[in-house]
Amino acid sequence: MSTLKQIAANQRNGRRSRGPRTAAGKARASRNARRHGLTRIAPRIWAIACAICPDSSNPLLLEQALIIGETTCVLSAVQAEQMVQAQRRLEQQHSNGDGMPPCCGPHGELEATDMPVPALERLYRYERRALSRRNRAVAKFIGVARQHALSNRIGLRPAHRAAAHFAPRN
């Protein structure tokens, strides 16, 4: 059972976190997907899914192919962000003014591993989640494809085709 103090705190927090209320705030929030580049991803997801599963008659295969496409796009976005952060760190090291970067490896190369830990952790977390989700989708795709191939080989029909086959004809 929540105490009155907890209920009051929950209500205060709830009032603060309900999203934009003004028209300007809603308009600004509606552009977030464009600002982060997510509007360009949807056609890429579909293109990857169609390349993986050209015969989209099986909805289970298409669903897994779309997940694989989505996670592939997320992984490429994470890798691009990692490159941007590494480049930003290298530029900071070049601009320290004394001609010698503060963090040099044993062979004089610049080290880009001194990025802020929270930023790296966030990117690694996104990457791990996307990789495990993609691996699960690939395994499920292979399983469904094998089952589909096996059912076609031994003459079993998918449920929607079998129902149509045995439906009364006029």
Q: Which domain holds residue 48?
A: 28-166
Cβ atoms < 10 Å from Cβ of 48: 18
For residue 91, is it within any domain? yes
Count of CB atoms within 10 A of residue 52's CB?
18
Cα dihedral 16/19/25/30 (nearest 10): 160
Over residues 102-113, mean pLDDT: 54
Q: Per the domain annotation, does 20 fall within a domain? A: no
Q: Are 44 and 128 in contact (CB under 8 A)?
A: no
Using pLDDT thresholds of 50, 70 and 90, give the confidence band for residue 131. very high
Contact 167, 94 (CB under 8 A): no
Q: What is the pLDDT of residues 8-29, one digit of tens each?
A: 998 888 887 677 888 888 888 7
Residue indicated by tokens 């977030």: 32
Residue 104 lies in a domain: yes
**Does residue 39 register a pLDDT over 50?**
yes
The tally of domains found in the chain comes to 1
Inform me whether the pLDDT recorded for 87 exceeds 90.
no
pLDDT of 163 strictly over 60: no
Dihedral angle of Cα 137, 138, 143, 149, to the nearest 10 degrees = 120
Mean pLDDT of 106-112: 53
Mean pLDDT score across all residues of the chain: 76
Confidence of residue 166 (pLDDT cuts 50, 70, 90): very low
pLDDT at position 113, please? 52
Residue 45 lies in a domain: yes
Q: Is 85 part of a structural domain of the chain?
A: yes
Model-wide pTM > 0.85: no
- 19 belongs to a structural domain: no
In angstroms, what CA-CA distances link 104 with 85, 93, 113, 161?
18, 9, 11, 65
pLDDT bucket at 165, cuts 50 / 70 / 90: very low
**C-alpha to C-alpha distance for 57 and 65, rounded to whole angstroms:** 12
Q: What are phi and psi of 104, to 5 degrees?
A: -115, 145
